[in-house]
Structure 1
Amino acid sequence: MMNDAASSKAGAAIPKSSGKGMKGIKRQKWIFLLLAVGPAYAGYLLFTLYPNFMSVFYAFMKWDGISKKEFVGLDNFVFMFKDEFVWRALSHNLVLMIVLPILTTVISLVLAHLLINKGFREAPFYKVIFFLPNVLSTVVITLLWIYIYDGSNGLLNGVFRLFGYDNGGYYWLSDPKTALWLLLPPMIWGGVGFYVIIFMNAMKGIPKSMYEAAILEGASHFTRLHTITIPLINPVIRITLLFLFLGGIKSFEIILVMTNGGPAGSTNVIGLYMFNQAFSQATQNYGYASAIGLFLFVILVGGKVLIDRLVPKSDWEY
């Protein structure tokens, strides 16, 4: 009886939460969420969703950004599918979408595998060197490679002269046959370092005992890379290919600064063509540019689906 009385007194001493108190706590939580997340969501709505919705609206208009909008229905899309420059630009994107992911992924995988499994003491230094281009802005990378390709004082021609071959001050970016392919080295150089770091971090999660067993069986570096490393980090490779594939579709900055689509449209890509249609004084048409943007969005979604099918998910465990 005394214990019951004591417990009832103790229970009476604990104040019960009032309805007003709970409402106040909930209000504080909502205020905190609004202040913490609200600005980010507002920026997303204002600078991402709203422009995307407006681009769908403009795709059915003829508008130069100043004069009155004119509704043209599907005319922009009909003209786009008949526009040979669109398909030529897409063919250049196709080259980048195929070559850029393959070369960047292979080079990054090989470098990461060697740095992890060779046990170089200088591996941290190499990581910094490989990652250095990612610290530089795209414009800086582009200007460096413009200097390398320069015909008069370019580094590439200087290397050829060093080995006794004088090509007469050849301007590499002025030849329509080579200009597109010469855009690949700066793109690869600017991205390899990032993926080397990603692959190295993924490889560190693989037990060393698997590599040791393979070495005892006489497996070469290529065999270990092919049979152990690649299958076990397949999810990371899959995401890498997806990013690089979509990056090949959206290529813009390096091409804009290096060639602006030239010479004679040999390096023009769909993103740059869309940009010029919207902002060039000669062809200023936001409606047509928006239609191209919607077409580009469909290509991006299709590319994502294609990557999912070509690089299936794996359930490796170790």
Structure 2
Amino acid sequence: MKERKGKGLFVFYCLAPAAILFIVFMIIPTIDIFRMSLFKWGGYTADKKFVGLDNFKMLFQSDRFYQAFQNSILLIVMVTIITFALALIFAYILSRERLKGQTFFRVIFYIPNILSVVVISAIFSAIYDPNQGLLNSFLNLFRGANNPVLWLGDQKIVIYSIVIAMVWQAIGYYMVMYMASMANVPESLYESASLEGAGKITQFFTITIPLIWSNIRTTLTFFVISTINMSFLLVKAMTNGGPDGASNVFLSYMYQEAYTNSSYGYGMAIGVMVFLFSFALAGILNVATKRPDIEF
């Protein structure tokens, strides 16, 4: 009895610091966001006015919020699909094919993940520069230089320019993760499939993907949620939501309203919507990607 009590106290003392930190820096601030969303407050004064759900009513009547919502959905869908498709393909090629310099390719692909957002933003801002940028310089070989493409200044294409930067930043990390998973797939399965006449593509979809699905499922949920945060960092550093709000996403729009326009209560209402959206999206992904475990 004493031994069990001693183990319980040991576990309690080990978990208590982490639990306290989680409550203080996660639970309490989250609750405070919900509370502040019910007030009209500039954020820098002591004047607070309780307005109930008025901030949410303003939110659902705002065209800028719907634009930020649309941009966020577009980034989540496009960046996730492109990143995971390329990461899986590259991981499969580097795992299954005998290529010279495999270690070199792994390092090259992984480098973007260790760079800070500021560095990535500077790199792509230079690439997208309308006058001396690498991308326009290349396009000028096939078309005139009189009308340069404004990659970060055109409302129609700015969000797609951010998609490219986000994919470039994330692809190497997930490629390395999937290579580690693919290394655990028995070689005998591929040999048997080859004897049965299955090609590389068939083996990829019938052997590799099913056997590493649990890893794909876990990384997919984390990636989608982290995309919401990463999109804000890149937008803030590269475009600051411009031109004319065309590249705004959830968190950049919240930041502008809360800290630039001094509408802190309204900004916290946006934060509540982001929290609920992220929570719902994680639940949907968890249900939609659930598959029976395959043992081998």
Match of 1:165 among 106, 121, 143: 143
Contact 1:97/1:244 (<8 A) preserved = no
Q: Please state if 1:259 is matched with 2:217.
A: no
Q: TM-score, normalised by structure 2?
A: 0.91
Q: CA deviation at 1:243?
A: 2.2
Q: Partners of 2:10 and 2:85 in 1: how far apart?
A: 49
Match of 1:202 among 152, 174, 181: 181
Alignment match, 2:115: 136
Q: CA deviation at 1:266?
A: 1.2
Match of 2:23 among 38, 45, 52: 45
Q: Which moved more, 1:166-175 or 1:178-187?
A: 166-175
Q: Partners of 1:243 and 1:33 in 2: how far apart?
A: 28
Q: TM-score, normalised by structure 1?
A: 0.85
Q: 1:315–1:30: structure 2 CA closer, same or farther, 3 Å change rule?
A: closer
What are the Cα deviations for residues 212-231 of structure 1, in whole angstroms up to 9, with x where unaligned?
12223332221111111011
Q: CA deviation at 1:294?
A: 0.9
Q: Partners of 1:40 and 1:164 in 2: how far apart?
A: 58
Structure 1 segments unaligned to the other structure (5+ residues) = 1-21
Alignment match, 1:87: 66
Q: CA deviation at 1:265?
A: 1.4
**Identity, % of aligned pairs?**
33
Alignment match, 1:6: none
Match of 2:262 among 284, 287, 312: 284
| Aligned Cα root-mean-square deviation (Å) | 2.3
Alignment match, 1:308: 286
Contact 1:94/1:249 (<8 A) preserved = no
Q: CA deviation at 1:29?
A: 9.2
> How many residues end up aligned between the 2 structures?
292
Q: CA deviation at 1:276?
A: 0.8
Q: 1:165–1:131: structure 2 CA closer, same or farther, 3 Å change rule?
A: same
Alignment match, 2:88: 109
Q: Please state if 1:274 is matched with 2:254.
A: yes
Match of 2:224 among 220, 223, 245: 245
Q: Partners of 2:11 and 2:72 in 1: how far apart?
A: 45
What are the Cα deviations for residues 52-93 of structure 1, in whole angstroms up to 9, with x where unaligned?
121111011111122321111111111111112111110111
Q: CA deviation at 1:37?
A: 5.1
Match of 1:72 among 45, 51, 71: 51
- DSSP 3-state at the match of 1:50: helix
Q: Partners of 2:71 and 2:93 in 1: how far apart?
A: 33
Q: Partners of 1:260 and 1:221 in 2: how far apart?
A: 44
Q: Which moved more, 1:269-278 or 1:38-47?
A: 38-47
Match of 1:154 among 116, 121, 133: 133
Alignment match, 2:124: 145
Q: Partners of 1:211 and 1:158 in 2: how far apart?
A: 45
Q: CA deviation at 1:260?
A: 1.0
Larger radius of gyration: 1
Alignment match, 2:202: 223
Q: 1:57–1:102: structure 2 CA closer, same or farther, 3 Å change rule?
A: same
Letter in 1 for 2:76: M
Q: Partners of 2:207 and 2:11 in 1: how far apart?
A: 48
Letter in 2 for 1:60: L
Structure 2 segments unaligned to the other structure (5+ residues) = none
Alignment match, 1:55: 33
Q: Partners of 1:101 and 1:88 in 2: how far apart?
A: 20
What are the Cα deviations for residues 121-159 of structure 1, in whole angstroms up to 9, with x where unaligned?
421221111110111101111110000000121011122
Q: Partners of 1:33 and 1:248 in 2: how far apart?
A: 34
